[in-house]
Amino acid sequence: MMAGAPAFRDREPWLAVIDMQRVFGEPDSDWFAPRFAETVEPIRRLVRAFAPRVTFTRFVAPETPAGAWADYYERWPFALQPPGSRAYGLVDAFAADAGPTLDATTFGKWTPELAARVGQDGRLILAGVSTDCCVISTALAAADAGVEVVVAADACAGADDASHARALDLMRLYEPLIRVLTVSQILAGHP
């Protein structure tokens, strides 16, 4: 096993694939993550390794934004679409195999549903987009709940390279609650 890789032998980890949706993966979207396409194959490797312990999530707009979310959607009115819209669909690379998604109107996907899947003493592996928004929001909340979090750095993409790197650096400050590893390191620690 590689140095720094978590030992997965005592507790099976759960993989959460965060928001691999058209709204983040298509170049003409205002929310496009430029390195989105580069995450597809690393995520596929993780999904194959951890299936069936995999949850795909989707960020969706609320029917009626409230509080600070109202201001947010004033800035991004294109995003006020129903959950079934094409923009909020998973990209073709994952749509057929993802099964039911865990949908949330919040950046963080550490919901009661995901917490129940992972378990109180669980381990959570995160991949997806955007490193500097939904991934980091999920990682911090799960770590606060006492879950060991591993972020697959090369299976995540940010709003841009600098934001991706800053988010990874910030999450490294939370070690050992959050570890930032490569897909190869994660798979080396998986039985």
Q: Name the DSSP letter for residue 21.
A: B
Given a cut of 80, whether residue 104 has pLDDT beyond it is: yes
Residue 10 near residue 133 (C-beta atoms within 8 A): no
Query: Exposed/middle/buried for 111, CB within 10 Å: 0-12, 13-18, 19+?
Result: middle
H, E, C per residue of 51-91: CCCEEEEEECCCCCCCCHHHHHHHHCHHHCCCCCCCCCCEC
Which residue from 150, 139, 43 is spatially nearest to 90, judged by alpha carbons? 43
Which residue from 4, 28, 9, 14 is spatially nearest to 57, judged by alpha carbons? 14
What local confidence, expressed as pLDDT, does residue 121 receive? 86
Which residue from 181, 188, 115 is spatially nearest to 151, judged by alpha carbons? 181
Given a cut of 70, whether residue 112 has pLDDT beyond it is: yes
Q: How confident is the model at residue 10 (pLDDT cuts 50, 70, 90)?
A: low
User: Per-residue pLDDT averaged across 95-111, rounded?
Assistant: 94
Residue 177 near residue 148 (C-beta atoms within 8 A): yes
9, 10, 12, 15: CA torsion to nearest 10: -80
What local confidence, expressed as pLDDT, does residue 190 receive? 53
Question: Higher confidence at residue 120 or residue 82?
Answer: 82
Which residue from 46, 140, 163, 40 is spatially nearest to 90, judged by alpha carbons? 40
Given a cut of 80, whether residue 140 has pLDDT beyond it is: yes
Residues 21-65 pLDDT 10s: 999 999 999 999 999 999 999 999 999 999 999 999 999 999 999
Which letter, b or e, does each residue of 136-163 get, where b requires 16 or more Cβ atoms within 10 Å of its Cβ?
bbbbbbbbeeebbbbbbbbbbbbbeeeb
Q: Please enumerate in sequence order all residues whose Cβ is within 8 A of that of 180, keeping only pairs 6 or more positions apart, or say none.
A: 150, 151, 153, 168, 171, 172
Tell me the pTM.
0.93
Residue 56 near residue 15 (C-beta atoms within 8 A): no
